[in-house]
Structure 1
């Protein structure tokens, strides 16, 4: 079967190739309604489908971006992806989502794959293990935005939560409710991942502001698989904490599972606040107090920054860090 071309559509619609091209690119400002109708009819009758690859080569744009998330299991990640996809869809961009599993080697493969597919730019939750590769992208003026995490050696637009403030809000709420023995559980701090380090720092500062001691035994950093075991050690201390801040949603899941398996009542036996407003927080029993991230606003901002960078076509742009405010969702677990 002969491939239908833009020339065939133009002949069938009794107009020029340039007019058909303008129609396909949605540039109708000076196009008569009857011309648009003829082109629409010709495309339908001939079964014409634009050659996306050819158009990309001609326009030097694939109208596609890549998003490399650290771990797609996080509620925050899925919400951010949705916001990015919504914003990009409105701007006629497609999105390729990659899950790096916090693995620098996997992140590197995804960066190379996305470049091979000639995506126009990348939004990344950086692992911190590919500094030289990101520096190379920046030296080439490749559009790049970091989200949720920053890398000190890389100067690039970055979108972050005010993580220290999130931890402070939680500690303030615990103290306001009458708790003075407060612990925190975080995934491993070994890789220096921004939100984890900043939230622990904010936790310590908030305790000091309230005149409470910073007890090392009340600060647990562990792999997700080990959190329940470490929580048990914490709760079996001679003077265990009476309140725990879960640094993110996955830590919160582990705490809730432990509480159920050991018949602990929340907040009677242990009060809990989680950073990340999980979808079930409002109907869990008891309802869970959380610190919400404005994930959709953060995702939209990252997409906006990237598409603006793409539109600048390599010209110099000002580099900034954009911090978003967390919000307390007060419920019944504290």
Structure 2
């Protein structure tokens, strides 16, 4: 096992004090001779020393800047909450740096380290579970951080997210009230145990059971976005295909709409459709789409407020809370059989 090279190792090899190395790493060269700087540079290169950007960033002065890392900026949810966060920060004289991790843990880790190296005052993150170690370090150092949209078990970090099970229950109940019984749910992959996707499937199952309807596993598709077209084809190829579909998010919705258009399946007539997450085109789509909307702007506002309070020491960073928001049903024609509007 390779031992981690420390500042002390660099100082010893360069024949200087640890504080001198620290000053070098932080760009404070005012009272440092050229020969000293050269020895430190050489020692760092020969030892392949990698500074601990987490530890370094936690000792700096404030910069009036926060970092925002979203899992996938293509989600309309992401753009809406970012807009709300940015608005709160702007009013409080705080700048934002926005990063898109693409649900890639390595990319997320790089962004975290980069933002910390830039000495941001706090972080808002849609987290990827495989980076829990770096979040644990931030918690241990009392660094201001808030999670959005996803829970990470075992980490005492304030988290703002939707009541996802209720969102699915609302969708299922609405479809049943409109005469649908063979209800499918389609969403993106749950391999990483991503909170909203898992909870929405769980809520869907519970809602079917409470209404006395069987759970058909063939009606549940949770797949990578590149495979969803194949998954949707599978459910429509069943001997008894679903008469209604719940779309788990906006990216899934696009795949469903693409498939139904290409296969001449009429929404609201051949199949009912309801999507979790309001989308910008829901009212102008033909037929207009029934949605279960998240209060994205309220969620973004609270997320930013929680973080700024942490930064300003107005709350106890050692106690975390889960902040759940209630979804809202917006009824339109896509869940009305034969395209009849529900008055």
**TM band (smaller chain):** 0.7 to 0.9
Q: Secondary structure of the equivalent of 1:122?
A: strand
Q: Distance in 2 between matches of 1:211 and 1:107?
A: 43
Cα deviations by residue, 1:194-229 (Å, 9 ceiling, x for unpaired): 000000000000000000001110101111111111
Q: Secondary structure of the equivalent of 1:167?
A: helix
Q: Distance in 2 between matches of 1:121 and 1:230?
A: 40
Cα deviations by residue, 1:131-167 (Å, 9 ceiling, x for unpaired): 1100001101100000000100211100010000000
Cα deviations by residue, 1:13-65 (Å, 9 ceiling, x for unpaired): xxxxxxxxxxxxxxxxxxxxxxxxxxxxxxxxxxxxxxxxxxxxxx9210000
Q: Distance in 1 between matches of 2:264 and 2:165?
A: 32
Residues 106-117 of structure 1 mapped to structure 2, 5 A cutoff: 106-117=107-118
Quote the offset at 1:316 in angstroms.
4.5
Q: Is the 8 A contact 1:69 1:124 kept in 2?
A: yes
Matched, 1:170 2:171: yes
Q: Is the 8 A contact 1:142 1:314 kept in 2?
A: no
**1:279 aligned partner:** 280
Q: Is the 8 A contact 2:72 2:101 kept in 1?
A: yes
Q: Is the 8 A contact 2:164 2:200 kept in 1?
A: yes
Q: Distance in 2 between matches of 1:246 and 1:94?
A: 35
**2:156 aligned partner:** 155
Task: State the Cα RMSD in Å.
Answer: 1.7
Structure 1 stretches of 4+ moved >2 Å:
313-318
**1:226 aligned partner:** 227
Quote the offset at 1:186 in angstroms.
1.1
Q: Secondary structure of the equivalent of 2:103?
A: coil
Quote the offset at 1:315 in angstroms.
5.4
**1:94 aligned partner:** 95
Q: Distance in 2 between matches of 1:76 and 1:155?
A: 24
Residues 260-299 of structure 1 mapped to structure 2, 5 A cutoff: 260-299=261-300
Quote the offset at 1:318 in angstroms.
2.9
**2:139 aligned partner:** 138
Alpha carbons of structure 1 residues 315 and 234: separation in structure 2 relative to 1, 3 Å: closer
Q: Is the 8 A contact 1:309 1:317 kept in 2?
A: no
**1:331 aligned partner:** 332
Alpha carbons of structure 1 residues 208 and 237: separation in structure 2 relative to 1, 3 Å: same
Quote the offset at 1:314 in angstroms.
9.0
Cα deviations by residue, 1:96-135 (Å, 9 ceiling, x for unpaired): 0000000100000000000000000000000111011000
After TM superposition, the score normalised by the length of structure 1 is 0.81
**2:243 aligned partner:** 242
**2:57 aligned partner:** none
Q: Is the 8 A contact 1:66 1:119 kept in 2?
A: yes
Residues 172-211 of structure 1 mapped to structure 2, 5 A cutoff: 172-211=173-212
State the number of aligned residues. 279
Q: Which runs of 5+ in 1 are unaligned?
A: 1-58
